[in-house]
Amino acid sequence: MFTEAIRIKPDYAEAYNNLGMAYANIGRHTEAVESLQTSIRLDTKLAQAYYNLGTVYYNLGRLEEAIVPLKQAVNLKPDYIWAHNNLGVIYYRLRRFNEAIDSYKQALRFKPDWAEAHYMLALALYERGQSREAIDALKRAIALMPDYAEAHNSLGVAYYNLKRYKEAAIAFTEAIQLKPDFSLARYNLGAMSLVINRRETALEQYNALKSLSTELATKLYGGIYRGMVLSLSDR
């Protein structure tokens, strides 16, 4: 269909954009990039083509290359929330946390009820050592999506790092109640329980972990029986 449209109208930028995404969807990434680049050459103001090109680069692991077209997409269409979000994801993966924070905030400026963006913003804030700001963002994510188990777990980690252990325990427990097979939340609750001398709780979580995650169960075992110092994780 798209190739026929191009045959009839060779300068049809949107057809090249659609053809590029069709190629991407079947894993023909070289043709996808070529088609999207042609679309952009034909219409330098087609924000969707820049976004799609950035997405293809991202899926190929070419993160630095993905930034340029995604930034162009938001320059052309400032309320392009998915482009802002994807920039945030890329910056986070590149450990460029300040830029990730800015990108997620831009996405949320246009879609303030986006729970996942609040969550990712919190992770970036946490990496910058801004635990209190991360807690605020996680609370907003949970208010929008109360059954967001991952957000509850990350909230527990943030509370733990501020030594607010009671609130951390509540957050980890909520994550486990929402998602009983959430092995990381169980590990975090167990590891924190050792810090506050609640060995029985740590043992409970160790026994549950044995059937969920051998790796995390082994780590928690080291804390319980060998006195190893454990670190908590939000991901």
Q: What is the mean pLDDT of the chain?
A: 92
DSSP state, residue 226 = S
What are the pLDDT digits (tens) for 166-192?
Answer: 999 999 999 999 999 999 999 999 999
Note whether residue 157 is domain-resident: no
Note whether residue 163 is domain-resident: no
Can you give the CATH number for the domain in which 41 is found?
1.25.40.10
Residue 227, domain extent: 172-235
Note whether residue 52 is domain-resident: yes
What are the pLDDT digits (tens) for 128-143?
Answer: 999 999 999 999 999 9
> What is the pLDDT at residue 105?
98
How confident is the model over 151-175, as a mean pLDDT? 95
User: Under a CB-based contact definition with an 8 Å cutoff, are residues 103 and 91 in contact?
Assistant: yes
How confident is the model over 92-96, as a mean pLDDT? 97
Note whether residue 140 is domain-resident: no
Can you list the alpha helix ranges (DSSP code H) found in the chain?
2-8, 13-25, 29-42, 47-59, 63-76, 81-93, 97-110, 115-127, 131-144, 149-161, 165-178, 183-195, 199-209, 214-225
The span from the CA of 103 to the CA of 105, in Å, is 5
Domain boundary among 43, 77, 111: 77
Phi, then psi, of 227 in degrees rounded to 5: 70, 20
Domain boundary among 51, 77, 103: 77
If one counts the domains in the chain, the total is: 2
Torsion sign across C-alpha atoms 143, 145, 150, 152: positive
> What is the pLDDT at residue 229?
53
The span from the CA of 49 to the CA of 14, in Å, is 8
Distances (CA, A) of 11 to 41, 49, 113: 10, 14, 39
Note whether residue 93 is domain-resident: no
Note whether residue 230 is domain-resident: yes
User: Under a CB-based contact definition with an 8 Å cutoff, are residues 140 and 117 in contact?
Assistant: no
Q: How far is CA 88 from the centre of its chain?
A: 9
> What is the pLDDT at residue 1?
57
What are the pLDDT digits (tens) for 28-76?
Answer: 999 999 999 999 999 999 999 999 999 999 999 999 999 999 999 999 9
The span from the CA of 225 to the CA of 218, in Å, is 10
Note whether residue 48 is domain-resident: yes
pTM: 0.88
> What is the pLDDT at residue 85?
97
The span from the CA of 182 to the CA of 138, in Å, is 18
Domain boundary among 77, 109, 135: 77
Note whether residue 29 is domain-resident: yes
